[in-house]
């Protein structure tokens, strides 16, 4: 064999081996497995052909938004009632010291359950838990949060029902050249009209969005600098596809809002340091907020009231489902309310609460949930869910 031919053959073989090795490594790291695997099955099996009674409502409930994808819920199911419990073991610790976010997530699940009740031929009567969020016996593992009484009724498919499996938190940059139509914002405001304990604040002017964004970036920096908070948050980050499939909860790079190329690179690259990851979160917060045409706050009269927190969750879920039907993207960005809780827990001056009161211009309303809304530049990707069998007691 001539030397040139031999070298050519060698380099072709080397390239093949390298590419094959890279593809093998990429496979192992889940580069080609976005949205695949058992952790994502509940999104595909939520509407079964088999008649299974009220369990169908739980299949819809578990697809709801929830903090850090902790899925802090358990359901006791009979044909005449579903009891919803908070699973205290899935608490976010110092990121949510008063269970406020946990209850908002449970409210999101309630909203999906209600939509599925009508769609599955049930009439329902909902009773929400009352009292303060922290009203828990010592070492409690479960707390009953709501009861949904069921009786048979006509099958009515609510307009938002079909959006349940299409709603995903979208953490990518939004289209900064496209504003959100005023009719859309009016529809959101209308959702709040019948709720005397909840108020929606929307920020669309450049100056207000800038203030909101600067406050959120500051709150993000404070969380990163707080060793307990960043540790309690990081516990729910799943570094590999395999970890995600094992736990079927928590947040993973696939739903991070990066482009497909950057996600693939991040998966095959050596792990980055914690400092780099935290700085990346701060930078992403800056960049994504700067691209966002609408920022918002859901506020309540009493930040630590159970039923107000549940209702805030119900309204967020409804807003996000409706936004999905309109081709809009949305992301909760709750660092500011999280810092309000943390300053209270540490007995510090309530600087973040004061900032939020100035931002909304109305100190009587307490922001419990912050979000961003706009037209997407990238699709929001699916997140993991535990199977229904794991959350029914
Ligand atoms: C109370 C609450 C707070 C949340 N806070 C944030 C947040 O600050 N940043 C974020 O990216 N997502 C946040 N989320 C979104 C969750 O991380 C998301 O719902 C969860 O990972 C499941 O993903 P999905 O919404 O795409 O189904 C929050 C959701 C809830 C209900």
What is the per-residue pLDDT across 77-88, written as a single tens digit (0 to 9) for each? Answer: 999 999 999 999
Is residue 5 over pLDDT 50? no
Q: Which residues face 143 on adjacent strands?
A: 86
Q: pTM value?
A: 0.93
Rounded Cα distance between 311 and 228, Å, is: 29
- Work out the pLDDT band at 51, boundaries 50, 70, 90: confident
Q: What is the mean pLDDT of residues 328-348?
A: 98
Whether residue 320 has pLDDT greater than 70: yes
Whether the Cβ atoms of residue 214 and residue 203 lie closer than 8 Å to each other: no
Q: What is the rounded average pLDDT for all residues in the chain? A: 92
Pocket lined around ligand 1, Cβ cut-off 6 Å: 65-69, 101, 104-105, 108, 168-169, 171, 251, 255, 331-335, 369, 383
Give the closest residue to 240 by CA, choosing from 274, 259, 263: 263
pLDDT at 26: 57
Nearest to 29 by CA among 266, 228, 212: 266
Contact 70, 279 (CB under 8 A): no
12 CB-contact burial (10 Å; exposed 0-12 / middle 13-18 / buried 19+):
exposed
Does residue 65 surpass a pLDDT of 80?
Answer: yes
10: pLDDT strictly greater than 50: no
Which of 163, 213, 217, 334 for a ligand 1 pocket mutation test, highest count of atoms within 8 Å of Cβ? Answer: 334
Residue 385 has pLDDT above 80, yes or no: yes
Mean pLDDT of 125-149: 93
Q: How far apart are CA 72 and CA 102, in angstroms?
A: 7
Please name the residue whose Cα sits nearest to atom 21 of ligand 1: 69
Atom of ligand 1 nearest to the CA of 68: 17
pLDDT band at residue 391, thresholds of 50, 70 and 90? very high
State yes or no: pLDDT of 25 exceeds 80.
no
| pLDDT mean over 17-44 | 68
HEC secondary structure over 60-123? HHCCCCCHHHCCCEEEEECCCEEEEEEEHHHCCHHHCCCCHHHHHHHHHHHHHHHHHHHHCCEE
pLDDT in tens, 274-292: 999 999 999 999 999 999 9
Per-residue pLDDT band for 13 (boundaries 50, 70, 90) equals: very low
- Of all protein residues, the one whose alpha carbon is nearest to atom 20 of ligand 1 is 69
CA angle 135, 136, 141 (to 5 degrees): 155
* Greater model confidence, 28 or 167: 167
32 — pLDDT class (breaks 50, 70, 90): confident
Span 323-351, average pLDDT: 98
pLDDT at 14 > cutoff 70? no
Which atom number of ligand 1 is nearest to the Cα of residue 64?
A: 27
pLDDT above 60 for 6: no
Predicted pLDDT at 346: 98
Which pLDDT belongs to residue 341?
A: 98
Q: Is 178 a residue whose pLDDT tops 60? A: yes
Task: Give the pLDDT of residue 27.
Answer: 55
Q: What value does the mean pLDDT take over residues 319-324?
A: 98
| Distance from residue 186's CA to the centre of ligand 1 (Å) | 24
Ligand 1 center to residue 169 CA distance, Å? 7
Closest atom of ligand 1 to 100 CA is 1
Q: What is the pLDDT of residue 36?
A: 85
Pull the structure tokens for residue 177: 């050249």
Q: How many CB atoms lie within 10 A of CB 43?
A: 18
Percent with pLDDT over 70 in the chain: 93
Report pLDDT for 266: 87
Tell the residue nearest (CA) to atom 12 of ligand 1. 332
Q: How confident is the model at residue 28 (pLDDT cuts 50, 70, 90)?
A: low
Give bridge partners of residue 148 from the DSSP assignment: 82, 126
Q: Residue 116: its pLDDT value, please?
A: 97
Cα 326 to averaged position of ligand 1 atoms, centre (Å) = 20
Cα 321 to the center of its chain, rounded Å: 13
Between the CA of 11 and the centroid of ligand 1 the distance, in Å, is 48
pLDDT at 99 over 80: yes
pLDDT at 271 over 90: no
Residue 2 is predicted with a pLDDT of 39
| Segment (H or E) for 5 | helix 3-28
């Amino acid at each position: 064999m001539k030397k040139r031919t031999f070298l050519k053959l060698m380099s072709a073989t080397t390239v093949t081996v390298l590419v094959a090795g890279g593809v093998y490594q990429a496979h192992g790291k889940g580069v080609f497995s976005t949205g695949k695997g058992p952790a994502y099955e509940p999104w595909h099996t939520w509407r079964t052909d088999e008649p299974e009674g009220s369990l169908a409502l739980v299949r819809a409930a578990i697809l709801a938004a929830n903090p850090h994808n902790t899925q802090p819920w358990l359901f006791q199911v009979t044909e005449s009632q579903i009891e919803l419990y908070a699973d205290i073991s899935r608490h976010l610790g110092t990121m949510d010291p008063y269970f406020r976010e946990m209850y908002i997530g449970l409210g999101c699940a309630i909203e999906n359950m209600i939509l599925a009740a009508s769609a599955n031929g049930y009439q329902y009567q909902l009773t929400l838990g009352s009292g303060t969020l922290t009203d828990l016996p010592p070492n409690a593992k479960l707390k009953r949060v709501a009861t949904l009484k069921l009786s048979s009724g006509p099958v009515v498919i609510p307009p938002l029902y079909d959006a349940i499996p299409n709603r995903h938190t979208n953490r990518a940059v939004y289209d900064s050249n496209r504003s959100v139509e005023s009719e859309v914002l009016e529809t959101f405001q209308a959702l709040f009209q019948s709720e005397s304990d909840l108020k929606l604040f929307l920020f669309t002017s450049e100056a207000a969005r800038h203030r909101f964004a600067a406050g959120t970036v500051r709150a993000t920096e404070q969380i990163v600098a707080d060793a307990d908070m960043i540790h309690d948050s990081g516990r729910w980050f799943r570094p590999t596809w395999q970890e995600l499939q094992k736990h079927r909860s928590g947040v993973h790079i696939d739903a991070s809002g990066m482009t497909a190329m950057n996600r693939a690179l991040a998966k095959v690259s050596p792990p980055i340091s914690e400092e780099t990851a935290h700085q990346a979160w701060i930078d992403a917060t800056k960049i994504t907020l700067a691209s966002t045409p609408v920022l918002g706050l859901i506020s309540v009269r009493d930040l630590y009231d159970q039923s107000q927190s549940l209702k805030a969750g119900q309204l967020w879920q409804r807003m996000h489902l409706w936004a999905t039907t309109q081709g809009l993207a949305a992301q909760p960005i709750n660092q500011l309310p999280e810092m309000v809780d943390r300053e209270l827990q540490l007995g510090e001056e309530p600087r973040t609460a004061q900032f939020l009161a100035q931002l909304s211009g109305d100190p009587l309303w307490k922001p419990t949930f912050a979000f961003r809304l706009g037209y997407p530049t990238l699709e929001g990707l699916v997140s993991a869910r535990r199977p229904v069998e794991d959350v029914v007691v």
